[in-house]
A and B are shown apart, each in its own frame.
Chain A
Amino acid sequence: MGKTVKIVLAGEGGQGVQSVAQIIAEAADEEGKQVLYIPNFGVEQRGGVSVAYVQIGDGPIGSPKFEKGDIVVALSDRAVQRTGRYVGPKTAFLYDSSIPVEKGDLPGDAGEILPIPAIDTAKKELHPRVFNILILGAVLGATGVVPVDRARLAIEKKLGYKFEKDPKLRDLNFRAMDRGMELVKKMAGQRNGDTPSLFANNKQII
Chain B
Amino acid sequence: MEKPIQEERKAFLTGNEVVAWAALVAGAEFMYGYPITPQNEIMHYWTRLAPRYKRGFLQTEDELSAGFTTIGGVMGGKKAFTATAGPGNTLMQEPLSMAEMMRLPVVVVVQQRGGPSTATVIYSQQEVTLTTMGGNGEGLRIVYSTSSHQELFDYTIKAFNTAWRYRFPTFVLGDGYQAKMREPLTLYDPEARGVAMVGTEPFVGKEGVPGIERPPAQHRNTFSLEEELYEKVKTDAGDYEKIAPSVAEYSSKYTEDADLVILSHGVVFRAVAEAVGSLREHGFKVGFFRPVTLRPMPVGPAREMAQKAKKILIAESALGQLARLFKEAAFGAQAEIHTLFKPGMGITAEEVEEKARELLQ
Tell whether any CB of A sits under 8 Å from a CB of B in the complex: yes
Is there contact, CB below 8 Å, between A38 and B181? yes
Q: Which of B102-110, B186-194, B266-274 participates in binding chain A?
A: B266-274
Which of A25, A38, A43 is close to B180, meaning CB atoms less than 8 Å apart? Answer: A38
Chain B: which residue is nearest A26 at the CB level?
B12
Give the number of chain A interface residues (Cβ < 8 Å): 23
- Does the CB pair A25–B182 fall under 8 Å? yes
Q: State whether A39 touches B180 (Cβ < 8 A).
A: yes
Contact residues of A between 43 and 64, Cβ < 8 Å to B = 43, 60-64
Q: How many residues of B contact A (CB 8 A)?
A: 26
Q: Residue A120 at the B interface, CB < 8 A? A: no
State how many angstroms separate the Cβ of A64 from the closest Cβ of chain B.
4
Report Cα–Cα, A62/B183, bound state, in Å. 12
Interface of chain A, main secondary structure: loop
Residues of chain A in range 133-183 having any CB-CB distance to chain B below 8 Å: none
Shortest A20–chain B CB gap in Å is 14
B35 is an interface residue with CB less than 8 A from chain A: no
Q: Which of A94-126 contact B (CB under 8 A)?
A: none
Q: Are A63 and B180 in contact (CB under 8 A)?
A: no
In the complex the two chains form, what is the Cα distance from A36 to B268 in whole Å? 14
Chain B hits for A93, CB < 8 A: none
A39 to B267, CA, bound (A): 16
Complex contact A61–B267 (CB within 8 A): no
| A61:B183 contact, CB within 8 angstroms | yes
Decide if B120 is an interface residue (CB 8 Å cutoff).
yes
Q: Report whether B267 and A66 are in contact in the complex, using a CB–CB cutoff of 8 Å.
A: no
Question: Lowest 7 CB-CB distances: which A-B pairs, in order?
Answer: A62-B274, A38-B181, A63-B271, A62-B349, A29-B12, A64-B177, A37-B182
Chain A residues proximal to chain B, CB less than 8 Å? 22, 25-26, 29, 34-43, 60-68
List 18 extra interface pairs beyond A42-B122, A63-B274, CB under 8 A: A35-B183, A36-B183, A38-B182, A41-B121, A41-B122, A42-B121, A43-B121, A60-B273, A61-B183, A61-B270, A62-B274, A63-B267, A63-B271, A63-B347, A65-B346, A66-B349, A67-B348, A68-B350
